[in-house]
Every structure is written in structure tokens, then in C-alpha cells.
Amino acid sequence: MKFSVCIKQVPDVTAPIQIKEGQLHQDADRLVLDAYSASAVEESLVLTEKHGGNVEVVSVGPEKAKETIRKALAMGAESAVHISTDDNASYDSLSYAKILAAYYKNHSFDVIAVGKQSQDTDAGLTGGMLAALLDLPFATNAVGLEADPSANKIIVKRQGDSGQEMIELPMPCIVTCSNDMNDPRIPSLKGIMASKKKPVDTKTLSDLGLDAASLQADMKTQVLGFQSLPQREPGKKFEGDATELVGTLMNALQNEAKVL
């Protein structure tokens, strides 16, 4: 089976963030492999270990995205494609989907795995957009994945609104992965050493028949700025023994909040 995993480099969302004049500032300018992308890599590795095949990773981003690509190679992916963009270029989800679609049009694969969303924007659009552009069947929010290569299909367990849905998809197809799917492996020292020798094929937008200016011109969404979350009204905090606390709470819920 051939898995191709779209991975994204994101800012470390656990680092402190400040907003200055409507713009985001992070003290530690640390860039990491997106956690949902990591789950997509992990699941692809597990399935190829079980059924044979190989895992390729594909990332769109500036030169520094190479660090994140190496991380995925160190986890065990065999090869990588880096679609390089300008340092300061930023695109909306549809533009990224167009770039990825341009790459996949001329490449074969059984399954494209992507994160169900990314940690920085939580938009969750690109996987579905890519499926529409490539006219492929897809399933989102996968929490489990099994393959049946002889029948040329995969079985996706997706988290739906009121239960888990088991969906069968013929290959080739696209699956967007939840971080609840697995615990991505930490690269071993051996894996890190090996990653340095693995091939990274760098492509430019023009190699894919695209140009940055037209992509920018077609963009429909722009970021206007950032602001802090609204604060909730501070509430009341009670201490004491359990019986006393429950008494106070019951009184508040019945007579003040009137929700009982």
C-alpha cells in the first residue's frame, strides 16, 4: 500500500502568546510538526508495517518546513516531497488544497492521509477540499483505520455526532485523522540518523504549473487581526465541608441562578 501523508509545520501552540496591536506574538518562535499530521503519519506507518508498502510525506511551506519534514522521516516515512513557497507567503485553505491537488494529479497513491484540522487554525477544511478537487471518496475525523488491500478498500472508524461510524472506502481515497487515533511515536536516535539520508524532493509552485500571484489573487479569505477571548463574569468560590458546600450550591442554583 502506498500512503501519502500531507503534513503541516505549525507554531507550538503550547508556548505563551501575546497580542500586540492586533497581531500575534510568541516569545518562543518554535515550529513543530502539527499533532494531527503526526497522527496521520503514525497510522500510515502502522498500516504499512502490517500490510507492506511505503509512506511518503508531502509538505507545503517555506525552507524552514524542512525541519518538520525531517521529523516525519525520522518517525519512519521513506521519502518526502517539499513544495516550497516564499518565506512570507500565506495562503488560505483552498489555495493549499489547490497546490496539493496539483502535485497529486501526476502521482499515484492508495491513501492520502491528512490531519482532520491543524493545531494553529483548527479550520479543518483542506482534506475535504483536496478530495473535492481530486474527485476522490473521503472520510473525516478518523479515530481508527483498517486496511483490506486484497479487496482494495479501507475501513474508517470516524467519530460522528452521536456515535462512531464505520465507513468503507475504495482506494484511492482520502482520510482525515483525529489525534485520538494513536500516540505518534517519538523518533529513535537511529531513526533520526537515517532520516538525514532519506530523499527529499523539492518542488516549486511553477514545477506544478502554478504561480504564487494567481493563487494569491484567487484567495477568498483574509485574516484581519487577532483579539483576546472575552472574559466570563467572575463567579463565586466556596470552601468548607462537603455538606455545607452542597447546601450553598443548591441554594444558589435554586434561588439565584434558578436552573433547578
> Which residues, 36 to 95, sit near another protein by CB under 8 A?
93-94
Q: Are 81 and 56 in contact (CB under 8 A)?
A: yes
Closest separation in Å from C-beta 101 to another protein:
9
Choose which of 120, 185, 191, 192 interacts with another protein (CB under 8 A). 120
Q: What mask of x and - would describe binding to another protein in positions 134 to 153, judged by CB under 8 A?
A: -x-xxxxx-x----------
Choose which of 180, 191, 198, 212 interacts with another protein (CB under 8 A). 180
DSSP single-letter state for residue 74: H
Please give the Cα distance from 202 to 65 (Å, whole number): 11
Which residues are CB-contacts of 226 (< 8 A; sequence separation ≥ 6)? 19, 22, 23, 24
Choose which of 83, 126, 177, 195 interacts with another protein (CB under 8 A). 126
192 sits near another protein (criterion: CB under 8 A): no
27 sits near another protein (criterion: CB under 8 A): no
Residue 28 or 249: the one with the smaller Cβ distance to another protein is: 249
Cell numbers placing 11: 507554531
Choose which of 62, 124, 149, 191 interacts with another protein (CB under 8 A). 124
Q: Please choose, out of 44-52, 160-168, 185-193, 195-203, the segment that lies near another protein by the rule CB under 8 A.
A: 160-168
Please give the Cα distance from 189 to 187 (Å, whole number): 7
Q: Are 225 and 22 in contact (CB under 8 A)?
A: yes
Cell numbers placing 92: 488560505
The runs of H, that is alpha helices, within 76-171 are 93-104, 126-134
Q: Please choose, out of 54-62, 67-75, 76-84, 236-244, the segment that lies near another protein by the rule CB under 8 A.
A: 236-244
